[in-house]
Amino acid sequence: MATPNDKSLGELFADLSRETATLVRKEVELARTEMTAKASRFTRHAAYIAVGGAVLYAGVLVLVAAAVIVLETVGLTWWASALIVGIVVALGGYLFVQRGLSALQRDSLAPTETIETMKENAAWAKGQRT
């Protein structure tokens, strides 16, 4: 069995080539896995925004109905109820939208783990050349 010191220059370059190809494949695999996870989170946050938007729209419709009832009635019973329900629904929708937006602002779509390992690999390679 040949030790690393017994290998020819050609064998060492062949080993380096194989190891580099393996490293690149692993980096691509890591980037793909990381991007899949980030896309999943992005989809979930977008769903919060969509649900929040739909609920907020329903709240606006109720508020519009309350305004119509106010204009048509002299009594307070109908519109007061509609106004209270509209405000609660609109507030709920607003909270959903804010939750989705703040979650999207916290997350970055860049494959940060892959970038970090590539920096580490570059630093290691520089150290091997000296």
Q: Specify the DSSP element, H or E, that contains 96.
A: helix 77-106
pLDDT at 78 > cutoff 60: yes
CB atoms within 10 A of CB 82: 19
The whole-angstrom separation of Cα 7 and Cα 5 is: 6
Helix 9-72 vs helix 112-129: crossing angle, to nearest 10 = 160
Q: What is the pLDDT of residues 106-125, one digit of tens each?
A: 877 677 777 788 788 777 77
Angstrom distances, CA of residue 127 to CA of 87, 115, 123: 63, 18, 6
pTM beyond cutoff 0.75: no
Quickly list H helices, the chain: 9-72, 77-106, 112-129
Q: What is the pLDDT of residues 8-17, one digit of tens each?
A: 888 888 888 8
Which is higher by pLDDT, 1 or 27?
Answer: 27
pLDDT at 63 > cutoff 80: yes
Which residue has 């519109």 as its token pair?
A: 79
The whole-angstrom separation of Cα 68 and Cα 88 is: 18
